[in-house]
Structure 1
Amino acid sequence: MSPPRDHRVLIPVDVLEGEAVPEPIVDAFASIPVVLLGYHEIPDQTAPEQARDKYGDRTRADLEELRTVFEDAGCDVSSRLAFTHDRLKTFERVAVEDACDAVLILNPAPVLETVLVALRSDVNVEYIARLLATILTDTELELTLFHVAADESDRAAGTELLETARSELIDVGVDDDRIDSTVVVDDSPTAAIVEASADHDLLVAGESRPSIQRAIFRDRAKRLARRTVDPVVVIRGEYLESDADEPTAPDEDQ
């Protein structure tokens, strides 16, 4: 087994629009280092420097207040501020720059008790298990490992995949009685995951094919985040590198 590694989660928050992080999310992520990205998406005709001059003081104050909430919960937290024309590109870039393992897309979370973990393949299962174990620390969250098989002939392979994931979770300290497993057969994996997520409070999904040529949110995880009302944790591919995006104005680090 490879040695343990540190983990970090990026949480983008549009504080200027009044977006907040629900208390259950703060509590669940208190045990893992967090990067708070205070961002605001601006029109193409507005320069980031112009938006920063106009809204910077207010946004920094709101971001600092949110940072204090995480600090009070015992979280190791840092923060960044960005005014951007493309929020998804900014999420991708900051995740790479700050070596974040996952990105949390906020949605309402009045309670947080159960987690649906959608797995497609055994790529980075050990890596995902370690991150989940870190998130589960000091919580009573229960997990459902979930796989969508294309047809009945693939069901056995899906069951084996989830057993592998269960074993990895147990190896890193997650109690077996906190883990459930479900394999379904459906020719529309995204729809099946969205349907299953309705019975859970948090969805965890990996990138479809982790590689240096793919970026966060450009695959199934992006569509899931748009179609489910649950918070969504998108686990990055371990070797993701930033694309050659058009230059953006530097963020402010705090």
Structure 2
Amino acid sequence: MLTTVRMSPRASVLTVLRVQFYRVQCLFSPTPTDVLHVLPPDETTVLLPVDISGEYVLPTPVLDLLSSIHVVVLGYYPVPSQAAPAQLKHQHEDDARRHLDAILNQLTGRVDGISDVLVFTHDRDETVDRIATTHDVDAILTPGDVTTVDRLLVPLRGESNVENILSLAETLLASTDATVTLFHATDEANPDGHGDRLLDGAVEHLVESGVDPDRIDRQLSTDDAVAGILAAGDEPDILLIGETEPSLRDRILGRVPSQILEDAEGPVFVVRDTSGTETVNKTRTGSESGTEYGSGGQTDAP
């Protein structure tokens, strides 16, 4: 089954050129790839899980942030444990599709590209895990309420995943005039200067990528990681945090990320740590594995 993909008019010419480049590249590849399903490797992809059992409107500042990003919209319909997904699909698929289409219409013409998946599921987190892996996304966006985007908060908990986190920060900063606060919490008084070196390296990375130094702030704290992140300066408009555990679900539900997700009112980007894992070069295979199926999306089988 082919996942639905939409593209904004402003991105169409550039994408055609990219596809032509990959078409030539695949001619000389020992294992040619289906060109129609190849996304450029430098394209940032974000998974947006949305509960489509009801209507949802994306905040305009979030739409602006996603302007240069390919968005995979996961419209999930929660299924009670005692009910069969197929039964709820039969009863509510039309409404679910209508709610998902409304979200896609908000994104159309505002983002670099769109894919969508419709799922009736008992387990939201397992579904997010599976779809994030299948689509090889760079980050998962937990939407929240925000009226303006003036500051991004980017906690860095160590060397792991820093490159991916800063890469997404660069992309988001290119779509806004917001400032960014790089934050690191340590349990001790930074005796070896590790925290300072980490933050200095991150600042240098952003500046070299073209971010104005005046837009970058750095904070080093000896507070508890969660308390420190949430207390870092004024309440941030956007949080950008990284995964640290092997399993995506464990990463999202881990102590620090889960507390942040529970306490943060604004949108939160959770950046996947793909280092050391197999990738598929962001190739759309044309079908989804596992127990999910559907049209333009998927539905959990009972």
The TM-score, its normalising length taken from structure 1, stands at 0.88
Q: SS of 1:72's equivalent?
A: coil
- 197, 217, 233: which one pairs with 2:252? 217
- Counterpart residue number, 1:249: 292
Secondary structure of the structure 1 residue equivalent to 2:241? strand
> What's 2:270 paired with?
234
Q: Are residue 132 (structure 1) and residue 169 (structure 2) matched?
A: yes
2:206 and 2:296 map into 1 onto residues whose CA distance is: 34
**Pairing of 1:7-18 with structure 2 (within 5 A):** 7-18=44-55
Query: How much does 1:43 deviate?
Result: 0.3
Q: Tell me, what secondary structure is at the counterpart of 2:141?
A: strand
Amino acid at match of 1:206: G
Which of 201, 205, 214 is the equivalent residue of 1:168? 205
Query: Residue in 2 aligned with 1:244?
Result: none
1:41 aligned onto 2:78: yes
Paired positions, count = 244
RMSD, aligned α-carbons: 2.2
In 2 relative to 1, CA 65–156 (structure 1 residues): closer, same or farther, beyond 3 Å?
same
CA distance in 2, matches of 1:216, 1:64: 30
* Corresponding residue for residue 158 of structure 2: 121
**TM-score, normalised relative to structure 2:** 0.74
Higher relative contact order, structure no. (Cα contacts within 8 Å, ≥ 6 residues apart) = 2
| 1:201 aligned onto 2:269 | no
Distance 2:180 2:62 in 1: 15
Q: Identical aligned pairs, as a percentage?
A: 33
Match for residue 181 of structure 1 among 209, 215, 218 = 218
> Hey, what does 2:228 align to over in structure 1?
192
For the 8 Å contact 1:12–1:36, the answer to whether it is kept is yes
1:120, CA displacement in angstroms? 0.3
1:141 and 1:249 map into 2 onto residues whose CA distance is 39
Residues 160-187 of structure 1 deviation map (CA, whole Å, 9 limit, x = unaligned): 101111111222222222111001111x
Q: Give the distance between the partners of 1:144 and 1:123, measured in 2 at CA.
A: 18
2:120 aligned counterpart, secondary structure = strand
Residue 145 of structure 2 aligns to a residue in which SS?
coil
Q: CA deviation at 1:216?
A: 3.6
Q: Which runs of 5+ in 2 are unaligned?
A: 1-40, 279-289, 298-302
For 1:148, the aligned partner's letter is A
Change (3 A) 1:72 1:126: same
1:155 deviates by 7.5
Bigger Cα Rg: 2
> What is the distance in 2 between the residues matched to 1:29 and 1:157?
33
Question: How far 1:22 moved relative to its partner?
Answer: 0.9
1:64, CA displacement in angstroms?
1.4
Q: Matched residues in 2 for 1:214 and 1:83: separation?
A: 18
Q: Distance in 2 between matches of 1:119 and 1:136?
A: 17
